[in-house]
Structure formats: structure tokens, C-alpha cells
Amino acid sequence: MDDRTHAPFLAANPVLVRCLSGAVRQDWTRAEIEALFDLPFPDLIFHAQRIHREHFDPREVQISTLLSIKTGGCPEDCAYCPQSARYDTGVTAHKLMDVAAVVDEARAAKAAGASRFCMGAAWRSPKDRDLDQVCAMVAGVRALGLETCATLGMLTAPQAARLKSAGLDYYNHNLDTSPEFYGEIVSTRTYQERLDTLNHVRTAGIHVCCGGIVGMGEGRHDRIGMIATLAGLPGHPESVPINLLVRVEGTPLAAAETFDPLEFVRTIAVAFRRPRGHE
Ligand code: SF4
């Protein structure tokens, strides 16, 4: 970085100089991440862009298409989710789709420009007989020349290994929020169970897609805590989706306060500047 990239207050702050170096590391502290959040908005956007461009083609956009292969009727109680059977949201439950129908959808997604196809099922965790069918979907989608992704809930180590053998490239399993705020959002599975699934996925050799949701009533310290947890994972996720809550009538978060759009951009920029994240 030359002098033009450094406002004087940055150059005088060794914490910020370290944070903005672009080095890939897993020992991020919450104080460091907070220092990034506290940057003047233009400085944060500038440095997020600068570091991103050091690692990626800035004009390249990777397109993923997500298909719900099994919709609704989920036993979990995630407070943001219209697919939970606990909330009256008007979502009609559908059983697991046929393999051929999923592959047809993937073919259409590829024709529309997608390079990755994600299959999502509203389960607490897949049953082994369901996994047979999902593995056939993964193999069929991969045979089209698409990257494959799935989000099926919690996995055991053997289930992750089976998905890897079928050709699964990515597994999505979000942390949702900070460890401290998590209990306000989900009570039917623990934060540690999420981390365990991520560990099984990584150990199986599948790329990790893991992020969270903002605008659920959490504080900035929770957004910091979530990013610190993501940054401290044994391997950084290859994809980091930062989602803004979609308030759905019937869910406990239907009346959540509108989230500041600039804080949303800030959160993405702080998460984005970790070089291994693609999204
Ligand atoms: S586990 Fe997934 S599908 Fe089920 S309620 Fe939570 S977010 Fe929704």
C-alpha cells in the first residue's frame, strides 16, 4: 500500500494496518473485526475492494441456482424460516423431488448461465434412504458439467463422505449469527452441532459454504461474533453468504425492525475482505 491508500489515522493504528494487510489468517480477534466495522464507510469499501481485487477477477461473477428439492414441513424452529412446520406461513409441504425432475431443473439453470447448482431440503438431517436419492441427484447434476452444492441440515461424518463420493463439491450450512445470539433464533439444534457438521463436511473434502443472516434483531457485536467465528474455522469457508432477513408473515421474525442498508453493506465488506471467500 502506498501513502494514497492510507488516511493518516490508518497509518497511526497498528491494529488496522495488520487488519488491512490482506494476509490470510485464522487468529482474528473480535476487537480487530470491530475496528474494521468502525472504519469510515468509504475507507472500508475501498479496502474491501482492494483486497478482493488482489485475489479475484473483479469482473467475474459466479452464478449459483438454488432449487428446493424438498419443501416445508421441517421440524426445526429457526425463527426466520417459513419452512418450519411450527409456523403458519402458507408454505405447502412437498416431498422429495424425483431425480429426473431435479436434473431437468439443473439443465435449465445451466442454460440460463449458472455454473453451480444447489439443492436444498427442509430437513433437520437427512435419513439414509433420502440420501440415496440425493446422491443420485448430485451425480446427475455433476454429469451436466455443473458444480454441485447441497443444503440438507445436519450431517454425520459417514453421510458427508457419501455425498463426497457422489460428487458433491459444496455443502451449505450457515452459522446464522453469533454464538451468543443464536439461542434467540434457534432452539432445536445447538451452535456446536452446526460446527460439528461443518467439520464433517470439511473432513470429507467438500468445500464449505457458510455464512449467516443479518437483520434478525442482533447487535453489531453479534455480527462481529459471527464473522469472528467464520474467520476462526479450521479452514475458511470457500463461500460466505451474508443474507438479509426476509421477513415472512407467520414467522417469529415477521415484525423485525427494518435493517440499516449501509450496515448491511458494511457487514458484507468486513466479511468479504477475507480473501478466501468467493461471495
Ligand atoms: S432447518 Fe432449514 S428448513 Fe428447517 S426451519 Fe431451519 S432453516 Fe428452515
Domains in the chain: boundaries: 62-263
**pLDDT band (50, 70, 90) for residue 5:** low
Least confident of 13-22, 39-48, 234-243: 13-22
Q: Which of 156, 148, 192 is nearest to 172 (CA)?
A: 148
Q: Please spell the DSSP secondary structure of 198-252, one letter per residue.
A: HHHHHHHTPEEE--EEE-SS--HHHHHHHHHHHHTSSS--SB--EEEP---TTST
pLDDT value of position 277: 42
pLDDT for res 278: 42
Q: Which atom of ligand 1 is nearest to the CA of 186?
A: 6
What atom of ligand 1 comes closest to residue 153's alpha carbon? 1
Answer whether residue 51 shows pLDDT above 60.
Answer: yes
| Of the listed ranges 4-8, 19-23, 64-68, the one predicted with least confidence | 4-8
Question: How much distance in Å is there from the Cα of 214 to the middle of ligand 1?
Answer: 16
Q: Name the one residue in this structure whose C-alpha cell is 494487510.
A: 21
Which atom of ligand 1 lies nearest, measured to the CA of 77? 5
- Residue 9's CB is within 10 A of a number of other CB atoms, namely 11
Give the tens place of pLDDT for each residue, 86-98.
999 999 999 999 9
Range in 50-59, 117-126, 260-269 the model is least confident about: 50-59
- More confident: 117 or 25: 117
**Average pLDDT of the residues in 23-52:** 89
Buried-exposed string 21-41: b where 16+ CB fall within 10 A, e elsewhere = eeeeeeebeeebbbbbbebee
Q: What percentage of the chain exceeds 90 in pLDDT?
A: 79
Atom 2, ligand 1: residue with shortest CA distance:
122
How far is 191 from 179, CA to CA, in rounded Å?
A: 6
d(CA 16, CA 34): 10
By most ligand atoms within 8 Å of CB, the mutation choice from 77, 78, 119, 151 for ligand 1 is 78
What is the tens place of the pLDDT at every residue in 69-81? 999 999 999 999 9
Tell me the CATH number for domain 62-263.
3.20.20.70
At 7, the pLDDT band (50, 70, 90 cuts) reads low
**pTM, whole model, 2 decimals?**
0.91
The answer, yes or no, to whether residue 14 has pLDDT greater than 70, is yes
What is the torsional sign of CA 67, 118, 165, 189? negative
Does the pLDDT at position 275 exceed 70?
A: no
Look at residue 274 and tell me whether its pLDDT is greater than 60: no
Number of the ligand 1 atom closest to the C-alpha atom of 81: 8
What is the per-residue pLDDT for 21? 73
pLDDT tops 90 at residue 260: yes
Cβ contact 210:237 at 8 Å:
yes
CA 103–ligand 1 middle distance (angstroms) = 23
Counting atoms of ligand 1 from 1, which one is nearest the CA of 84?
5
Per-residue pLDDT band at 55 (split at 50, 70, 90): confident
CB under 6 Å to ligand 1: residues?
74, 76, 78, 81, 83-84, 122, 153
Once rounded to an integer, what is the mean pLDDT over residues 42-64? 90
Pick left, alpha or beta for residue 215 (phi over 0 → left; psi -120 to 50 → alpha; otherwise beta): left
Give, using CA atoms, the residue closest to atom 6 of ligand 1. 78
Using CA positions, which residue lies closest to atom 3 of ligand 1?
122
Residue 176 pLDDT class (50, 70, 90 cuts)? very high
Give the rounded percent of residues in the chain with a pLDDT score beyond 70: 93
Q: Span 177-189, mean pLDDT?
A: 97
Mean pLDDT for 199-204 is 97
Q: Residue 52: its pLDDT value, please?
A: 87
Q: What is the mean pLDDT of residues 17-29?
A: 76
